[in-house]
Amino acid sequence: MVYNACHNWCPKKDPEDDTEFEDLPRKTLLRPGEVARFLSVSLKTVYRWYRLGAIEGTKAARCLRIYRDSVVKLVEGNDAVP
């Protein structure tokens, strides 16, 4: 257990433990539909988050692909997204 800044005892998270992301495909680049299904949001929301910089990705041949690490970071950080 680790004592965090909020003065709460919480279990130390193993950086290799990826159990909460087992439904997220284990590939570097994800299709917007995969991200939308995992986060239970619409495709439109995924594209908007990309446009606003809430998630990172790349476009190749007019196809958007989202970086898996960006989705994990969003979920772990519980970042407020627009």
* Cβ-based neighbours of 54, under 8 Å, separated by 6 or more: 74, 79, 81, 82
**CATH top class, domain 16-77:** mainly alpha
Residue 78 pLDDT: 65
pTM: 0.68
Q: What is the mean pLDDT of the chain?
A: 77
Residue 77 has phi, psi (to 5 degrees) of: -85, -10
As a whole number, mean pLDDT of residues 52-78 equals: 89
19 or 20, higher pLDDT: 20
Percentage of the chain exceeding pLDDT 70: 63
